[in-house]
Amino acid sequence: MKQELYYVHLAVIPVRAEPRDPAEIVTQLLFGELLEVLEEKEQWRKIRCLHDGYEGWTDEKLFKPFKGNKKQSHRLYANTLTINTPTGPQTIIKGANLHKIKGNTIEIGEDEYAILGTHTQNWKENLETIAMSYLNAPYLWGGRSIFGVDCSGFTQIVFAFKNIDLPRDAYQQAEEGKMIELGNQKPMDLAFFINSKGKVIHVGICLEDSKIIHAYGKIRIDKLDEKGIWVADMNKYSHTFSHIRRIS
């Protein structure tokens, strides 16, 4: 039986732990990202995100049927982009999956969206530049956008710009790639941090000079050492160091 796919046609949508509006947001999906439906309950649909296998509930009105090549993926580098939709102009945001750009048109399967105004897409931006472009984005549990992002949502969406599909949660990402010793890290290696029980609860992206960019109140840059993340303006360690992994 052929897998029936759908795509998000709005800028960003919530995926919840339960089929009700007050339920916890466990993740978000951005424009153009693909999903499949697993279960139905009134207007709610239990979905599986195609890029990471994450499951949760979202409203049936927030996505549309997708027909086309699911392998195409080009992420939006600009903070925002306005497109024309059947119901009028719509703004999409950084990280959106544009699938295919043909002239001044975004093609998502058989659907087309005209780009309004001028648009320059730099496909060659490196991951460090992309990560830095999220600086000062506010922390939001379950978030994956410039308007709110959590630690693993940040690392996941940054690597998505190079078509690297990381798992959704920090403890899952901690199993990806290969182990690197502290002191041998390079920019874009992932550093992981644990709680008092030894469980991975936080992740950040290594930068030059033993610095790390991560989500702590907001996307910020702090110092990384053998103890963890030193937050100078708070005069404390925010997280306890566990290990570093390199994603290839």
- How far lies 86's CA from each of 19, 23, 30, 101, in Å? 28, 30, 19, 18
- Does the active-site annotation cover 151? yes
Neighbour count for residue 106 (Cβ, 10 Å)? 26
- Does the active-site annotation cover 202? yes
- Are 170 and 195 a contacting pair, CB within 8 Å? no
C-alpha–C-alpha distance, residues 106 and 202, integer Å: 35
Question: Which one from 9, 51, 214, 239 is the annotated catalytic residue?
Answer: 214
Strands 100-102 and 55-59: unpaired
Structure token digits, residue 184? 């041998």
Structure token digits, residue 4? 């029936």
Neighbour count for residue 75 (Cβ, 10 Å)? 21
Nearest to 210, CA basis, from 179, 241, 234: 241
Question: Which one from 151, 206, 239, 243 is the annotated catalytic residue?
Answer: 151
Question: Which one from 9, 202, 206, 239 is the annotated catalytic residue?
Answer: 202
- The set of catalytic residues is 151, 202, 214
